[in-house]
Chain A
């Protein structure tokens, strides 16, 4: 079945540094979603990408969907301590539920 893999598993940065997490699927995705989970919290939706090569920005966050719709990335410019958490990408399974990657845990030190 479809698997979604994320790298790196962990990332520790100094506040102000940039951060990128990558997501790769074994199959072509119709769309991909990104979620953020703060420590002790639940996943919160960030964005959905649908079109091949799509790029979307939310303030310091930039999301990309690959041309082949098999990979995606999330880039955070000038990280802040509020960016701490685990970032998950998720692709649709055969129905409407999601297959999540294992996530990238981001730690930001001041």
Chain B
């Protein structure tokens, strides 16, 4: 399977614990995005990488959230001191360079986080 993969698929944690998610994008894609989706809502943008550079972060991304893409391939998203409000599906997407700068994004299956 050459699509976007995410691990773990599900994570249950207690409030105050730290969690880390991993995303493996499609290999030739240089752009990688993290989104968060809650029930009944569309995906909300969190952050974006062009190769290894984190070029954009949403105001939604508090100081407890950090993301890395150390070699321009896989990416990790860490949430420190989790809160119940962090419970959501965390989606990763990747894309190549496209016309007018925007191209189709390929989404992974997501990591569902439940904070107790």
Q: Which residues of A contact B (CB under 8 A)?
A: 30-31, 33, 41-45, 48, 50, 88, 90, 92-103
Q: Are B42 and A102 in contact (CB under 8 A)?
A: yes
Q: Is the CB of B107 within 8 A of A33?
A: no
Cβ-defined contact, A101 with B42, below 8 A? yes
Further 6 A-B residue pairs, CB within 8 A, beyond A43-B43, A44-B107: A30-B102, A31-B100, A33-B104, A33-B105, A88-B42, A96-B31
Secondary structure at the A interface, as helix, strand, loop or mixed, is loop
User: Counting CB contacts under 8 A, is B109 at the interface?
Assistant: yes
**Does A43 lie within 8 Å of B56, measured CB to CB?**
no
B33 within 8 A of A: yes
Distance of B30 from chain A, by nearest CB (Å): 11
